[in-house]
Chains A and B, each alone.
Chain A
Amino acid sequence: SQQGEEDPQALSIQEGENATMNCSYKTSINNLQWYRQNSGRGLVHLILIRSNEREKHSGRLRVTLDTSKKSSSLLITASRAADTASYFCATVRTGRRALTFGSGTRLQVQP
């Protein structure tokens, strides 16, 4: 079953704008990961943040984690049309190895 929810479910922005997606989860975790899925394709790993980290950067991506609120956010800065995809957060629960996915956010970047 899904670990939690992501919001918004869908987001449409203009190229160059920033996109922020939020994820909530329910249990204690080892880490939280964000994946991208282009239409009809597999999942591509974007970034991993450990449970003892609060913020992490990778290129145009910034991820925050608030374990007290059981929530995370993914910020994509200066978005491009090529960023159009679905974005999923996934958690690795404490003591486990498998990923539990959120419901995903569909991002549309208009050129």
Chain B
Amino acid sequence: DAGVIQSPRHEVTEMGQEVTLRCKPISGHDYLFWYRQTMMRGLELLIYFNNNVPIDDSGMPEDRFSAKMPNASFSTLKIQPSEPRDSAVYFCASSFGSGGGNTDTQYFGPGTRLTVL
């Protein structure tokens, strides 16, 4: 299996521009998570989906952030308009929720390093 695939790996943009991050989860996994890593706040959950449906978006910073999962093999995280404080590494992870949450292992993609100038 190719693992979780994220694109792009690096993104540099200017403040005010729209940014779209993409994720392909591991085939057969029914949970997909978006996390963000910064020096100040560490690793934190943004949103997660179960069977393509958003379950918990309480970590999404504000209305500038939106996430979609149109099918089981693709998800996007969009920031519009982007701001310098959005600079971070964004990780996508997926898991197979067979254990009722007790034994789920999450598999992480390599991340997208976003820099907003």
Query: A residues bordering B, Cβ < 8 Å?
Result: 1-2, 30-31, 33, 35, 41-45, 48, 50-51, 88, 90, 92, 95-104
20 A-B pairs in the complex with CB atoms less than 8 angstroms apart: A1-B41, A31-B101, A31-B104, A33-B105, A41-B110, A42-B108, A43-B43, A43-B91, A45-B106, A48-B105, A50-B103, A92-B101, A95-B101, A97-B50, A97-B95, A97-B97, A98-B45, A99-B33, A99-B35, A102-B42
Distance (whole angstroms) from the CB of B29 to the closest CB of chain A: 12
Contact residues in A for B12 (Cβ distance below 8 Å): none
Contact residues in B for A51 (Cβ distance below 8 Å): 102
Q: Is the interface of A mostly helix, strand, loop or mixed?
A: strand
Q: Are A97 and B110 in touch, CB under 8 angstroms?
A: no
In the complex, which residue of chain B has the Cβ closest to the Cβ of A47? Answer: B105
Contacts A41-B110, A42-B111, A43-B91 known; A101 to B105 CB distance under 8 Å?
Answer: no
Distance (whole angstroms) from the CB of A37 to the closest CB of chain B: 9
B55 on the interface (CB 8 Å rule)? yes
Contact residues in A for B103 (Cβ distance below 8 Å): 31, 48, 50
Given contacts A31-B103, A41-B110, A43-B43, 9 further A-B contacts (CB under 8 A): A2-B41, A2-B43, A31-B102, A42-B109, A45-B106, A90-B43, A96-B101, A97-B55, A97-B97
